[in-house]
Amino acid sequence: MSQSTLDEEDLLGEAASEIRADVEENMAAARSELPSAEAIWAVDSENTLGVLNSLKSALDTGDAAESLRDARKWFMVGERADAFEDPDALEAELDEVAALIETVEEAQERVGELASTVPELRSDLEEANVGGADGDAETETEDADETEE
C-alpha cells in the first residue's frame, strides 16, 4: 500500500468520525429543543385561555426541525460513505425524533385552534345568556317588569 492510500484511509476514517459526531450532535440538539414533559403538564394560569396559551408556548419546538434536518443530511452522507456501524438503528432513532417533533407540532396547532375558539365560545355563550346567574337574573328582571305593568 502506498503512503497516499494510507493517508486517504486515515482521512476517510476521520471524516466518518466527524460525520457520526455531527449526526449525534444534531440529533441531540433536536431533542433538546423539544419541550419537557413537565413543561407541558404543569401550567400556571387563572383561566382556561391562559392555560391554553401557556400550553401552546410550552409546545414550541424551537429549532428542533432544523437540527433534525441537519442530522438527516449528515446521516445520508455518512451512510453513503459507510461511516456507521449500525445505520438502521441510527435511522430508526432519527425517525423517532421526527415523529416526536411532528406530534408536538400537531399538538401545538390543536391547542392554538382551541385557544382561538374558547374566547369566541365564551362571547357566544354570554350573548345567548346560556346557564349561570346572568341568565337567571335577566329572566327575573323581565318577570318583574311584566308584573309591574
What phi and psi, each to the nearest 5 degrees, are found at residue 83? -90, -5
Question: What would the mean pLDDT of 33-41 be, rounded to a whole number?
Answer: 93
Would you list the domain boundaries of the chain? 3-148
Question: What would the mean pLDDT of 28-44 be, rounded to a whole number?
Answer: 92
d(CA 111, CA 108): 5
**pLDDT tens by residue, 115-147:** 999 999 999 999 998 765 554 545 444 544 554
Question: What would the mean pLDDT of 3-32 be, rounded to a whole number?
Answer: 86
Q: Which residues contact 16 (CB under 8 A, 6 or more apart)?
A: 78, 81, 82, 83
User: Percent of the chain having pLDDT more than 90?
Assistant: 66
Residue with cell 459507510: 82
**pLDDT tens by residue, 65-88:** 999 999 999 999 999 988 898 999
Given a cut of 90, whether residue 8 has pLDDT beyond it is no
- pTM for the structure as a whole: 0.76
- Amino acid (one-letter) located at 54: S
